[in-house]
Structure 1
Amino acid sequence: MRTLQDKRLFLLDMDGTLYLDDRLFDGVKEFLARIRERGGRYLFLTNNSSRGVEGYMEKLGGMGIRTERRDYLTSVDAAIDCLRRRYPGKRCYVQGTRSFYDQLAAAGIPVTCDREDGVDILLSGFDRELTFQKLEDACILLERGAVWLATNPDWVCPTWYGSVPDCGSVCEMLTRATGRRPEFLGKPRPAMVQLALAETGFPPEQAVLIGDRLYTDIACAVNAGIDSIFVLSGEGKREDIERDSIHPTWVYDDIGAVLRAWEETP
């Protein structure tokens, strides 16, 4: 029988799971400390491509959590891995933030913001700097037959006042306009979990993914063959489980409840 006591590698979603905007949820610091005290490892997994790891390090640092680059895996990492393996040397038009663009360029990916610059691939991400020009460029490139990749299918990104459209919503708008659909690279695809297992050396049975979205976080765990914890502190609701037919291993209200359950495990 699977128990939380068996887990040593914790793959943690961020927005809606650890915090909401700049508000850290209760129990997060204690949970992270206990993982390391028990000889475990945690990695922060996020579909959000709008900021670099340095931005997350600064954000969590401002909440009192010190982290290193090695503590993160993002949908940008998954995109870079895919582009290197499957599309080496192909030029990408980046429909995303400047940070997203800079991360790809730093990794040696040929990138451009000019649709006439020999574009092979349209790469879409969560874009807090979205303009109509980018949407028009994307439509033109898709009509020309460019390969379409996108970092994540999340419909919304949670904020303190509600939600804003995420990459999945913008991609759906482009699909309505062009009839094309992207290949998504981040969660729920298993690539980020596979990268995490390869990097840390933990076997799948010792890993668990914790997140607030069934259709990305929990589906990613299912697709990767590891256990999952669905927390109700962000976008997802308990009733979504039967509606979406995506079944987590465990369900808890928040990270604080996960910590209490883990501590109570014999």
Structure 2
Amino acid sequence: MPTLREKRLFLLDMDGTIYLDDRLFDGVIPFLHYIRQVGGRYLFLTNNSSRGVEGYMEKMRRLGIETEKSDYLTSVDVSIAALQKERPGKKCYVFGTRSFYAQLESAGIPVTDRPDPDVDILLCGFDRELTFQKLEDACILLNRGAEFWATNPDWVCPTWYGSVPDCGSVCRMLTTATGRTPRFLGKPRPDMVYLSMARTGFPPAQTVLLGDRLYTDIACGVNAGIDTVFVLSGEGTEADIEKFGVHPTWVRRDIAEILQELQKTEDN
């Protein structure tokens, strides 16, 4: 039976796992220090495509955590890798924030925010700048036959006041309107885990993924063949295990409980 103490690469979801909006959960900073102390590494994984890594770095700094670009892996990274490998040179209509657009453009992806006749792919992300015009453009493109890609299937994004529709919910609207279904790129697909291990050099046996959503975070780890910790500090509840049929290796209340367990094990 694996133990958490054996892990050295910790893949951490952010929203609902280490913070909620601008509130850092208890125990996160000492937890990160613990990982470094045992010779481990952590990467922050997120399906949220609405902001660049610089935005996350600034947010972490406000929360008291200093990070580098290499500490992050996002659904945008996975999308760029897939586009470059499978659809090089194909033109994408970017259904998302200006930050999402800029990240794709800087990576050399041909992008537009107009439903031009030569658009090959409609690429949807979590869009905090959503307009009806974008919905209309998307329907035009999908009815025309453009490929339908999306960064992530998350239904909602947690906030301090509840939840807001995430990429998966908007894609469901488009599916209802056009009959087209997207190819999702981020979690729960295993690509983020594979990229993380490739970047850091840690094997699957030393890798663990922590997240608050069974159908994306935990399913990603399961699909990649690594151990997972389902934390109850965000969207998910224990009832979701039966609902989604996704079984984490461990279920814990939050990061603070995990840290307490690790420190207790170490003391023993």
What band does the TM-score fall into relative to the shorter chain?
A: over 0.9
Residues 183-235 of structure 1 deviation map (CA, whole Å, 9 limit, x = unaligned):
00000000110100100000001000000000000000000000000000000
Partner of 1:91: 91
Distance 2:209 2:92 in 1: 30
Q: Where has structure 1 moved over 2 Å in runs of 4 or more?
A: none
Partner of 2:2: 2
Partner of 1:192: 192
Partner of 1:212: 212
| 2:44 is the alignment partner of 1:41 | no
Partner of 2:137: 137
The CA deviation at 1:264 is 2.1
How many residues are treated as equivalent by the alignment? 266
Partner of 1:115: 115
Residues 74-112 of structure 1 deviation map (CA, whole Å, 9 limit, x = unaligned):
000000000000000000000000000000001111100
1:100-179 paired onto structure 2 within 5 Å? 100-116=100-116, 118-179=118-179
The CA deviation at 1:263 is 1.6
Distance 1:106 1:66 in 2: 25
Partner of 1:256: 256
Distance 1:183 1:256 in 2: 36
TM-score calculated relative to the size of structure 2: 0.98
Amino acid at match of 2:198: A
Distance 1:156 1:260 in 2: 30
Q: Secondary structure at the match of 1:90?
A: coil
Distance 1:145 1:263 in 2: 55
Cα RMSD of the aligned pairs, angstroms, is 0.7
The CA deviation at 1:240 is 0.9
Identity percentage of aligned residues: 72
The CA deviation at 1:114 is 1.2
The CA deviation at 1:23 is 0.2
Amino acid at match of 1:75: S
Residues 96-149 of structure 1 deviation map (CA, whole Å, 9 limit, x = unaligned):
000000000011111000111620000000000000000000001000110111
Distance 1:225 1:262 in 2: 22
Distance 1:115 1:251 in 2: 45
Amino acid at match of 1:177: A
Amino acid at match of 2:63: M
Distance 1:118 1:58 in 2: 37
Q: Secondary structure at the match of 1:136?
A: helix
**Most deviating of 113-122 and 204-213:** 113-122
Distance 1:124 1:194 in 2: 22
Residues 52-92 of structure 1 deviation map (CA, whole Å, 9 limit, x = unaligned):
00000000100000000000000000000000000000000
The CA deviation at 1:262 is 1.5
Distance 2:137 2:232 in 1: 38
Distance 1:65 1:117 in 2: 45
